[in-house]
Amino acid sequence: MGTTTADNDWKIDLFKFRPYLRDKYCIEDAFYFLGFYDLKYASLYKALTRAGFQIRFREHDEIMYSMKKGNVDTDVVYEIMWSIAERDDFDKIILVSGDGDYIKAVRYAIQKNKFGKILFPSHRNTSSLYRRLSFKHKDYLDREPVRNIIEKRVY
């Protein structure tokens, strides 16, 4: 099972990606945020769980079921801020995204010395807001050495 990058020309193999995160960044708890549960994606959810990710679905009111929006940005920012404020049992946050909506949370986590890296799936689809971010705090998953480790191969 793979998850497609924003470039859509390669897929990340979840069963290679999770060990990569554990081995490279010492990540014990890896959360995968999704908009809402949809039965047609049940196999993806099972694969994510089997690969070692903890799935976090966006909270929705049952009345709004037909109008559910998958936007999880606020949930991700909340988890980052809550973890910094309330948890002492973690070292650094590693974020996988190219979305510029997280820049303020990233800057705050860096200021509090609780930020490791943001891993961008793609060079082409990374927000320009991260341009000034030090290379100490960012990396690209589509770089050849990394992509060769985590790419889903189709034979």
Alpha helix segments (H runs only) across 52-131: 73-86, 103-111
pLDDT value of residue 23: 97
Instruction: Give the up-direction half-sphere exposure of residue 100: CA atoms within 13 A in the CB hemisphere.
Output: 8
Every domain of the chain and the residues it spans: 2-59+69-150
The tens digit of pLDDT for each residue in 33-66 reads 998 888 899 999 999 999 999 999 887 556 555 5
Task: Please give the CATH superfamily to which domain 2-59+69-150 belongs.
Answer: 5'-nuclease (3.40.50.1010)
Instruction: Give the up-direction half-sphere exposure of residue 83: CA atoms within 13 A in the CB hemisphere.
Output: 21
Q: With beta carbons less than 8 A apart as the criterion, state whether 146 and 140 touch.
A: yes
The tens digit of pLDDT for each residue in 100-144 reads 999 999 999 999 999 999 999 999 889 999 999 999 999 999 999
pLDDT value of residue 72: 84
For the entire predicted model, the pTM comes to 0.85
Q: Is the pLDDT of residue 145 over 90?
A: yes
The tens digit of pLDDT for each residue in 59-96 reads 755 655 555 555 789 889 999 999 999 998 889 999 99
pLDDT value of residue 10: 87
Indicate the pLDDT class of residue 32, thresholds 50, 70 and 90: very high
| Percent over 70 (pLDDT), the chain | 88
- Give strand ranges (E) for the chain: 2-4, 11-13, 31-34, 54-57, 93-96, 115-120, 138-140
